[in-house]
Structure 1
Amino acid sequence: MVKEPVPPQSSISGRRRWVAPAVGVLLVGAIAAGYAVQHGKVGGVASKTDTAEDKKQPVQELAASDYTTVQARELSVMLPISGALAPLNQATVKSKVIAEVSETRVPEGVKVARGQVVMLLGTGDLQAKVVAAQATEEDAKAKLGLALKTHENNQTLLRQKFISQTAYDTAENNVDIARAALKSATAQLEIARHALDDATIRAPIDGIVSKRFLQAGEKASPDTALFSIVDLRQMLLEAQVPASEIPRVKEGQVVAFDVEGFDSRRFHGKVARINPAADAGSRAITVYIAVDNPDGALRGGMFANGGITLQQSAATPVVPLAAVHIDNGAASVFKIENGKVVEQPVKLGLKNEDEGMVSVLSGLTAGTRIIAIKHLDGIKPGTAVSLPQGANDKVQPDTKVATAQKA
């Protein structure tokens, strides 16, 4: 039997020494590889997903009241006013004669035309006065004729020296007296005829009968009110304005106002004139505003609340005052752009304190979304934001008349 040679002890020991470190290295490498796989690292490089998550910024969701969409519209500087409305043209028809009312033809609320008969007074006594005046005139004519004939005869007698100069002068004077008497009689007849005509009461203007003071059978005297007629096509609004504000009020300025009962309708007028004197008690000055009222919707006595337009901007972007930031005199707003808050410098125009709005002359366009609240927690330039799901763009509502000041 042949025995295999036994390797030297030193050779075996050397191989073991080499294998053991190699196995150790492989084991450490496997453990490291498993750790890298478990923690998303391969070859010492971090995965993109883990990096994005570490650096991802939190998104703040806005409520519907936190933002608004800028709209372009006019903004006005207005002076608040209030007062009562009255027809510009109105007339109270009064009697000029003493007579009994025989007929009233038009009741209250009915339209009448200028010259239309609205009432008749009794004419019996008036007609008798006309007849008497006619008789007086005829008598005066006859006396004048006689005086003229006598004067003519006396001229002949005077030339023939049958009468004295005094007698002739007397005859000539009688002619003058007769002429004067005829003129007086003619005038009295005209007065009687006018009085008879005045028994027929006519409307002095186009309008609506607002009041009938007498009924048939009642007696009218001179200056007794018979009818009141108003023309509603043009109204006058009388407003009391503080004397300190009068320098800003000018004729021709536009006025907008509301009247109770017309919630969905706004009325307009223009400053027609300004009273030159202040009221002794209130120290206010009356401003008269002309209002066209073609459909007659406005009535006398209605109370109006509105404002005089002292200044008005063109249609420019308008933002809430609460959205404006002022830093060292520079104005800016926070706009929402690509899901982030961006500070946008702006130049302001007219400011309306009561309405809470200000016009923007430059730096902003209509349709831009902006943060509507000045101090909103967590909101600053660079903040990522999101809008409510399904939220529509909010349009800044038009408001009613309010006092405004220039920014």
Structure 2
Amino acid sequence: MKREPMPQPFVLNLSTPAAPPQHKRRWRKPAAALLVLLLAGGGWAYMQAGAKPATAAAAANDKPKAPVYELAAGDVATIGARALSIKLPLSGSLMPLTQATVKAKVSGVVLETTVQEGMIVAAGQVIARLDGAELRARAAQQQAALDEASARLALAKKNNLNSEALLRQNYISRSAYDTTQNSVELAVASVAAAQAQLDMARIALADTTLRAPLAGVVSKRYVQAGEKLAPDMPVMAIVNLSQLTLEAQVPASEIPRIRVGQDVQFKVDGFDQRAFLGKVARINPTTEAGSRAMLVYISVNNADGALRGGMFAKGQITTEKNAPRPLLPMAALRKDGTQDVVYRVENGSIKSQPVKLGVRNEDEALVEVLDGLAPGAIVLAAPLDGVKPGSKVKLLAAPVAKG
């Protein structure tokens, strides 16, 4: 039997001639190491160069900055200018300047009343009538007495003329003539007395018609038709509301500040949105009993008739009024030693500004600035923690105007 030949195995030849020469291996390793070192050094230098500005920026950011304070509209105020008034509070009641109570002058029964409470009457207008039958009869009686006295006077004058003629002829004595002359004089006196009685009767009869003594408004009607009146009984009360007087009590210690002619402004319940004006007319020279107050009488013009007698009023007397000047809120004032200063907002920062002050109004919390500030300046309206001269500020809204 024929045998197949066996296959030959594959043998890799690793003999010395196939390997690279030794001198080439010798320089490749140092070159590679040098390249690695160069690359490492360049990276380190680059990293160091980039780290320097980053470190400087970080150091700059770490430095503390000055805070900027934000100011709301209520934290600051804009200085305005106007006249500052000093006022004294007062209160009192309003009374009509002129008023009258119409009373009966004669006795009689009321026939009618022509007006009622609240009605406007004119001066001389009839407001009531009384029964005048009895007074008319009395007037007629006095007229008859006057006629009788006049007739006696005429007879006495005639007898006197006859006596005068007889005296010239010496038929009667002088004493007889004087007697007739005296009769004439007595008759003249009787006529005058009768005329006076008649005038009085006529006046009494006219008094049965009651008329308004002044123009105004009927405030009270005391009688009704059918009532019997006696002399001096009240019939109607009439007030004139065109001019009122505010009677206000003022402490005696404040009286030196009050002078005739000073302006008064007041309000009345029911007229909350309306302010009424008046002027000081008179000052009572004595204090009220049981108090240390004095009455001040204030004249009030009430042409539209809005006010009524007896209303309670509260207001103020302007005791002093200066020329228009800058006005500063008192809350904005500060002290720098003995000097009055304010903190002024200018170009986004706070500055201390000395000021010279004038009149103060405690009620309005304002003070007059004589020197140091002009209208339009912006100041801190109240103390704020941490805000001082040199502080940076920012306005969040327009400041509120003061003054």
Residue of structure 2 in register with 1:310 after alignment: 319
Q: CA deviation at 1:135?
A: 0.8
The 1:270/1:329 distance shift into structure 2, 3 A limit, reads: farther
The 5 Å alignment of 1:243-322 reads 243-322=252-331
Deviations 1:47-75 (A, max 9, x none): 9xx74873531112234432233333332
Q: Does 1:376 align with 2:365?
A: no
Q: Does 1:197 align with 2:195?
A: no
1:12 paired residue number: none
Which whole-Å CA distance do the structure 2 matches of 1:321 and 1:157 have between them?
Answer: 110
Amino acid in the other structure paired with 1:113 = A
1:35 alignment partner, one of 51, 54, 69: 51
User: Is contact 2:74-2:399 (8 Å) kept?
Assistant: no
Map of 1:58-69 to 2, 5 A cutoff? Answer: 58-69=67-78
Matched residue type, 1:30? Y
Offset of residue 93 of structure 1: 1.1
Cα distance in 1, alignment partners of residues 300 and 62 from structure 2: 68
| TM-aligned CA deviation for residue 296 of structure 1 | 0.8
> Is 1:385 equivalent to 2:393 in the alignment?
yes
Q: Is the 8 A contact 2:76 2:399 kept in 1?
A: no
1:212 aligns with 2:226: no
2:66 is paired with a residue of what secondary structure? coil
Q: What is the distance in 1 between the residues matched to 2:101 and 2:401?
A: 51
For residue 400 of structure 2, give the secondary structure of its aligned residue in structure 1: coil
By how many angstroms is 1:252 displaced? 0.7
Please say if 1:149 is aligned against 2:155.
no
1:342 equivalent in alignment to 2:348: no
- What TM-score, normalized by structure 1, do the two folds share? 0.83
1:78 partner amino acid: K
The CA distance in 2 between the partners of 1:51 and 1:183, in whole Å, is 125
Among 342, 353, 359, the residue aligned to 2:362? 353
Other-structure match for 1:404: none
Letter of the 1:141 counterpart = S
Q: Select which of 213, 228, 234 maps to 1:225.
A: 234
> Structure 2 CA distance, aligned partners of 1:116 and 1:53?
97
Tell me the amino acid that sits aligned with residue 90 of structure 1: Q
CA distance in 2, matches of 1:196, 1:186: 15
Q: Does 1:118 align with 2:127?
A: yes
| Alignment correspondent of 1:325 | 334
* In 2, Cα distance between equivalents of 1:133 and 1:345: 93
Do the aligned partners of 2:130 and 2:208 also contact (CA within 8 Å) in 1? yes
The equivalent residue for 1:82 is 91
User: CA offset at residue 298 of structure 1?
Assistant: 0.9
Q: State whether structure 2 residue 172 is matched by structure 1 residue 170.
A: no
Q: In the alignment, does 2:248 pair up with 1:242?
A: no
Post-superposition offset of 1:24: 10
Taking the aligned partners of 2:92 and 2:394, their CA distance within structure 1 comes to 49
Identical-residue share of aligned pairs (%): 50
Moved more, 202-211 or 346-355: 346-355
Q: Deviations over 1:109-151 (max 9, x none)?
A: 1111111111111121121121111111111111111111122
Deviates more, 1:156-165 or 1:309-318: 156-165
Task: Specify whether residues 135 and 328 from structure 1 end up closer, same or farther in structure 2 by C-alpha distance, changes over 3 A only.
Answer: farther
Amino acid at match of 2:157: L
Q: Show the 5 A alignment for 1:94-113.
A: 94-113=103-122
Aligned to 2:28: none
Change over 3 Å in CA distance of 1:191–1:328 after alignment to 2: farther
1:140 and 2:149 matched = yes
Question: Who is 2:8 aligned against?
Answer: none
2:26 is aligned to none
Unaligned 5+ residue runs, structure 2?
1-22, 24-34
Cα separation, 1, equivalents of 2:172 and 2:62: 146
Alignment counterpart, residue 367 of structure 1, candidates 376, 394, 400: 376
The CA deviation string for residues 326-364 of structure 1, in whole angstroms up to 9 with x for no partner, is 334422211222222222222222211232221223332
- 1:394 alignment partner AA: V
What amino acid maps onto 2:201 in structure 1? Answer: A
In structure 1, what is the Cα distance between the partners aligned to 2:207 and 2:319? 50
Give distance in 1, aligned partners of 2:195 and 2:73.
Answer: 89
What residue ranges of structure 1 are gaps of 5+ in the alignment? 1-5, 7-18, 399-407
User: Rg larger in 1 or in 2?
Assistant: 2
Tell me the amino acid that sits aligned with residue 152 of structure 2: K
Bigger drift between 80-89 and 277-286 goes to: 277-286
C-alpha separation between the residues in 2 aligned to 1:107 and 1:318?
55
Q: Give the Cα separation in 1 of the matches to 2:270 and 2:84.
A: 26
The DSSP-based 3-state class of the residue aligned with 2:390 is coil
